[in-house]
Every structure is written in C-alpha cells, then in structure tokens.
Amino acid sequence: MRYSRARRQAIKNSIDITPLMDLTFMLLIIFVITVPVLEYNTDIRSVIPEMNNPKKQEIKKDSLYTVQLDEEGKIYFQDGLTSLETLQDTLATVRDVQPDMTLWIRADAKRSYEEVIAIMRVAKHAGVQNISLVTQAESAAPKGKEP
C-alpha cells in the first residue's frame, strides 16, 4: 500500500512542461514568419496636406504692416526705427484706424527667440489679432555647398 501512495505523490509533484515548450516554440515560429509580412503589407490611406489653403483669407495690402528685427537687435516698423515701448503705442494707433490689420514679424536668424516673443507680446497687448511670422524656405542644398 505504501508503495502506491508514494508513487502517486511523486507523479503529482512533477509537472511535464514538454507540451508547453512545444506550444511556445510553435508560436514563436509563427510570429517570426508573420510579423514581417504584416509590416510590409499595411496599406495606410492618408491625405497629404496642401500648402495652399483654399479657405485662406486674402490679405489686403493696405492692412499689412511689418515689424523687422535686424541682426543688431534694432526694431523697425514699416522701415522706420522704433523701440518696444513706442511700438505698442504705434500698433495700438494703427489698430484703431484699421481693426483688421495684419502684422508680419520678420526677424534675423541670429536673434534669440525671446526677442521675437517680446515683439509678439507687445503686438498682442496693442490689440493686434492677426500676427504672422515671416520665414524663408529652406534651400535644397546644405549650407556651404551651394550649387
């Protein structure tokens, strides 16, 4: 009697993991084969954005004003030298005359971004609603290797 009980306990204490290993190995093989096929077979439908927005508002030339920040940090409003303190008053006066004015800010690349933000802040305090940053398109050739 004792022999059969000991044998049953020995069988209960050991677990056969061979079927589990077979299943794991098969799943690994299936995933190794199918994942690259799924990766290269995906068809993504996307709409490429267009640069010209048909809903874009037309800017009237008489309501367009520019603020320029040059390499030395001097601020020009419509080609006239000004400062941040007087720029706010000037912009507020122009906005009173033309409420739909558009302000373009053009800054030299060597100036810090904080200075551009300061000009934008002054324009917002003056009540200007339409502010745009003027940028230049990147050239196809890297710097220093002009064709």
Task: Look up the CATH number of the domain holding residue 126.
Answer: 3.30.420.270
> Which segments of the chain are extended strands (E)?
64-69, 75-77, 80-82, 102-107, 130-133
Q: Are 107 and 116 in contact (CB under 8 A)?
A: yes
Tally of domains within the chain: 2
Residue-level pLDDT at 79: 80
Residue-level pLDDT at 55: 52
**Residue 95 belongs to domain spanning:** 61-133
Both 20 and 68 in one domain: the answer is no
Model confidence at 145, pLDDT cuts 50, 70, 90, reads very low
Q: Which residue has the higher pLDDT, 140 or 11?
A: 11
Instruction: Look at residue 96 and tell me if it is in a domain.
Output: yes
Q: What is the pLDDT of residues 61-107, one digit of tens each?
A: 667 888 888 888 889 998 888 888 899 999 999 999 988 888 988 88
Pairing of strands 75-77, 80-82: antiparallel
Q: What's the CA dihedral at 88, 92, 98, 101 to 10 degrees?
A: 30
Whole-prediction pTM? 0.53
Residue-level pLDDT at 146: 44
Please check the confidence at residue 12 and state whether its pLDDT lies above 50: yes
Both 83 and 125 in one domain: the answer is yes
Both 68 and 25 in one domain: the answer is no
Instruction: Look at residue 72 and tell me if it is in a domain.
Output: yes
Instruction: Look at residue 82 and tell me if it is in a domain.
Output: yes
